[in-house]
Structure 1
Amino acid sequence: MTQNYPTKWFQIELARDVGYAAARFGHVMFPENVYEPALECAELLLEGVGKGWASRTFFSDNGSTAIEVALKMAFRKFSLDHGIILDSTDPNTTGKFIEVKVLFTN
């Protein structure tokens, strides 16, 4: 009879390799931690296409989250540039307020 399943040693080797990969490329995102391939990619992006204007990178696990975060970052940048976001701890903070209207269509 032919053996149609992996040998014990193959299973052990496979489990070890999968465990190594899972530990190295886990899908847990912490802003203050990074694994080496993501860091290398970020450095290449900042030194290449982002040179002169980008100082940070953001990696997302899917397109809808990437768009959502990009919009939030754009609104925050716009708000900071136009004095919409003010320092709430400073009683002397004064600034102009403008109305922001956003139209989303399907």
Structure 2
Amino acid sequence: MTNFEKWDKEFRAQNLYAFNNNESALLYLKVRAVCRGKQIKQFVEKNGIELTSTKINEQFAELYSIMENTTNGKAMLDTYLCDRNNEWYHTMGVDEEKLKSGLRQINNY
């Protein structure tokens, strides 16, 4: 069983506790966040990655394998996700400071 298959099985079983403090598991979640129609296309173009698969589910497994074997794979994903999230927040009109303040209040309980 590959790491991808292991984490995919845990995710589908909703065993999210298994994802705590595990770098391979966190990589799975980050790649999963990128593996949506537009996002995966933009991510691979931006980072010069070529995928042979044409279906999203197959691209997910393929991209996970590539990122797992790339030295700066996590950094590439982090950069992309931060940029995408900021763009999304601004497009949706989300007040980031208000959101962060609300999250801090939740964490204090």
After TM superposition, the score normalised by the length of structure 2 is 0.27
After TM superposition, the score normalised by the length of structure 1 is 0.28
More RCO (CA 8 Å, sep 6+): 2
Structure whose residues are more often helix by fraction: 2
